[in-house]
């Protein structure tokens, strides 16, 4: 990568990535370009449906129901794409549960009428995602959504200082920009401060060796926290390509994980809107202390509703992680036992 002054029209990766995915999804339906585990069967939907709390008991069975139990029960799918997951869930949950797809794309033509749709560009600052945020109970799902959320990209220099990587959108050509201590860094981090970026890196992806690359996951942590506030109670569930702190510390992900994806294959990440830009998610940094992060294999294989076989699944999909987060301040031990119920 060049370290010399450049004449290229350079942008910070985080800004170029954000615009590129918005342009990409404005023009392309995700199902035209990638298969996810939703397309491989109903195991994911059945596991998710099992996490939905049962309806509140009838008043004469439970004379003093807690106020929360009267809230409408909803399943909100963020980055719903074709709505395939909600369509599967509609067959698995009782009729009183409201299903809502949220996506930057318009409502799919063939989505069953009973499923609601909100065409919204979700950001960490958005005020109301569902139109009823904080007034509903149930589940929020982010299935292969967080990996699309743009992050600052940094590379460690010879002194192990994180330098912001800049990119020319039309070609994907990269140039090393300022380090986080340089005042110029402030404008190149997509709205997080250099000190926040530095603290995230020190804690979640510490320095290893020169040339190592990292995606600063803080924008995803902040967006995830926003998503968990949609519900007054219930669970938020993120399923995605992920990496974990122990492996990051060992340098196993030092090449960085930013990829382009188009027409079913990985490609050079060129943030011009012609390909989807994605990177693995540090789900452990998104998680609150009450949440659990487990492998997809573990979640599905220890569950009575699990898949009989992953043989028909596309490569890699068995290696996803699931973040399951209780949306109330539930004691950690209770949250853990809830997520272990098959
Ligand atoms: C990789 S697709 C996943 C689709 C589906 N959840 C699945 O797993 O099959 C990501 C979806 O998120 C949507 N999306 C990406 N960024 C978004 C944003 N900021 N706000 C709302 N939707 C977004 C895209 O339009 C796309 O439908």
Residue to probe by mutation, ligand 1, list 24, 27, 30, most atoms within 8 Å of CB: 30
147 in ligand 1 pocket by Cβ < 6 Å?
A: no
Contact partners, residue 120, CB within 8 Å, separation at least 6: 102, 103, 104, 126, 129
The model's pLDDT over 160-207, given as tens digits with 9 standing for 90+, comes to: 999 999 999 999 999 999 999 999 999 999 999 999 999 999 999 999
Ligand 1: which atom is nearest the Cα of residue 121?
A: 20
Residue to probe by mutation, ligand 1, list 104, 125, 240, most atoms within 8 Å of CB: 104
Ligand 1: which atom is nearest the Cα of residue 278?
A: 1
pLDDT the model gives residue 334: 47
Q: At what angle do helices 194-204 and 218-228 cross, to 10 degrees?
A: 90
| Entry pTM | 0.91
Spell out, as residue ranges, where the chain has pLDDT lower than 50: 65-66, 68, 329-342
pLDDT the model gives residue 332: 43
Ligand 1: which atom is nearest the Cα of residue 36?
A: 9
In sign, the C-alpha dihedral spanning 305, 308, 313, 318 is positive
pLDDT the model gives residue 340: 37
* Gap between the Cα atoms of 342 and 335, Å rounded: 14
pLDDT the model gives residue 53: 86
pLDDT the model gives residue 35: 81
pLDDT the model gives residue 54: 83
State the DSSP code for 57.
Answer: P
pLDDT the model gives residue 283: 98
- Whether 53 contacts 96, CB under 8 Å: no
* Gap between the Cα atoms of 98 and 72, Å rounded: 8
25 in ligand 1 pocket by Cβ < 6 Å?
A: yes
pLDDT the model gives residue 302: 74
144 in ligand 1 pocket by Cβ < 6 Å?
A: yes
Residue 33: burial class (beta carbons within 10 Å; 0-12, 13-18, 19+): middle
Q: Which strand ranges, in their side-by-side order, compose the sheet holding 259-262?
A: 265-267, 259-262, 276-278
Question: Which residue segments constitute the domains of the chain, with CATH numbers given?
Answer: 16-150+215-340 (3.40.50.12710)
Task: Name the nearest CA neighbour of 75 among 132, 35, 126.
Answer: 132
Task: State in Å: Cα 118 to ligand 1 middle.
Answer: 12
Ligand 1: which atom is nearest the Cα of residue 22?
A: 16
pLDDT the model gives residue 39: 83
The C-alpha angle with vertex 109 and arms to 106 and 113, in degrees rounded to 5, equals 100
pLDDT the model gives residue 315: 67
* Gap between the Cα atoms of 323 and 221, Å rounded: 12
Token output for 306: 């699990």
- Whether 273 contacts 172, CB under 8 Å: no
pLDDT the model gives residue 36: 82
Torsion from C-alpha of 323, 328, 330, 336, nearest 10 degrees? -20
pLDDT the model gives residue 38: 87
Contact partners, residue 168, CB within 8 Å, separation at least 6: 8, 9, 10, 11, 174, 175
């Amino acid at each position: 990568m060049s370290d010399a002054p450049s004449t290229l029209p350079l942008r910070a990766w985080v800004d170029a990535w954000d615009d590129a995915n918005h342009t990409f999804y404005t023009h392309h339906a995700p199902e035209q370009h990638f298969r996810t585990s939703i397309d491989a069967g109903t195991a994911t939907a059945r596991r998710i449906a099992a996490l939905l709390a049962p309806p509140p008991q009838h008043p004469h069975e439970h004379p003093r129901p807690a106020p929360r139990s009267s809230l409408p029960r909803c399943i909100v799918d963020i980055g719903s794409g074709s709505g395939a997951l909600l369509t599967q869930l509609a067959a698995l949950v009782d009729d009183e549960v409201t299903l809502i797809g949220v996506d930057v794309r318009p409502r799919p033509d063939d989505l069953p009428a009973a499923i609601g749709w909100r065409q919204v560009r979700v950001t960490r600052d958005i005020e109301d995602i569902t139109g009823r945020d904080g007034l509903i109970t149930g589940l929020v799902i982010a299935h292969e959504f967080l990996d699309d959320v743009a992050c600052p990209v940094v590379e460690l220099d010879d002194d192990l200082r994180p330098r912001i990587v800049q990119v020319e959108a039309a070609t994907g050509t990269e140039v090393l920009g300022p380090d986080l201590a340089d005042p110029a860094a402030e404008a190149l981090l997509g709205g997080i401060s250099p000190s926040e970026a530095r603290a995230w890196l020190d804690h979640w992806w510490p320095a290893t060796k020169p040339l190592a690359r990292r995606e600063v996951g803080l924008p995803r942590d902040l967006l995830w926290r926003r998503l968990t506030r949609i519900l007054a109670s219930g669970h938020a569930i993120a399923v995605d390509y992920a990496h974990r702190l122990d492996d990051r510390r060992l340098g196993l992900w030092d090449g960085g994980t930013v990829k382009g994806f188009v027409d079913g294959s990985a490609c050079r990440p060129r943030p011009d809107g012609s390909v989807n830009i994605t990177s693995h998610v540090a789900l452990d940094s998104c998680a609150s202390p009450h949440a659990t992060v487990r492998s997809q294999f573990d979640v599905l294989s220890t569950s009575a509703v699990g898949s009989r076989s992953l043989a028909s699944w596309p490569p890699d999909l068995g290696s996803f992680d699931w973040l399951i987060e209780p949306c109330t301040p539930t004691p950690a031990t209770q949250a853990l036992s809830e997520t272990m119920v098959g």
